[in-house]
A and B are shown apart, each in its own frame.
Chain A
Amino acid sequence: DQQVKQNSPSLSVQEGRISILNCDYTNSMFDYFLWYKKYPAEGPTFLISISSIKDKNEDGRFTVFLNKSAKHLSLHIVPSQPGDSAVYFCAASARQGAQKLVFGQGTRLTINP
């Protein structure tokens, strides 16, 4: 039972354009959401997070949007750069058992020059 789903295994975007990665969740107890970025042969690294009391969080070129009613979040990267090519994982946690992160399957983003 996948509580966190990333339905797009891959995404290809031209350099300079916007990249939009999507994530859906089913557990209404989730109240904190994170995005991780993973390069080949490395572990995932934390990118950006958002609490359920917000609907948007921005950090430089990266913005995460949360739609609680739709149980959907998205990561926007503007403008996309070649170094953004990686696998992106969406993750969620609930206040009870807050340390336990549930991850999605990941989306491989490729930025084309």
Chain B
Amino acid sequence: DAGVIQSPRHEVTEMGQEVTLRCKPISGHNSLFWYRQTMMRGLELLIYFNNNVPIDDSGMPEDRFSAKMPNASFSTLKIQPSEPRDSAVYFCASSWTGGRGGYTFGSGTRLTVV
């Protein structure tokens, strides 16, 4: 298994532009999570899905952020319009609902908004 795959690895965009981050979870995992890493707050949960259904989006900072999971093998996190304060590393992770075990994280997307 190739693990959780995120793309792109790096994204540099101008303020006001739309940004789309992509994630392919591990086959067979039925939970998917989007996290954002910042120095001040560490890893913050933005949203998570169970069986492609959004369960908790309370961490989504503003209406500028949206996430979708159209099928079990793909999810997107979109920021529109982007702002400099959105600059961070965004991680996608997946897991199997049945256990209390840990997530498998992707390598992250480093987003820089200038």
Residues of A within 8 A of B (CB): 2, 6, 32, 34, 36, 41-46, 49, 51, 89, 91, 93, 97-106
Contacts and interface: CB of A to CB of B under 8 A. Distances in A.
Contact of B56 (A51, A100, A103, A104): A100
A109 B107 CA distance: 20
Nearest to B102: A46
B43 A43 contact: no
Interface residues of B, number: 27
The prevalent SS among residues of B at the interface is: strand
B48 interface: yes
Nearest to A41: B107
Contact of A6 (B31, B33, B39, B42): B42
A43 B42 contact: no
Nearest to A102: B45
B100 A2 contact: no
B97 A99 contact: yes
Nearest to B4: A43
Contact of B101 (A41, A46, A89): A46
A43 B97 contact: no
Given A43-B108, A46-B101, A100 B41 contact: no
B95 A44 contact: no
A35 B40 CA distance: 19
B105 interface: yes
Interface string B98-112: 001111111110000
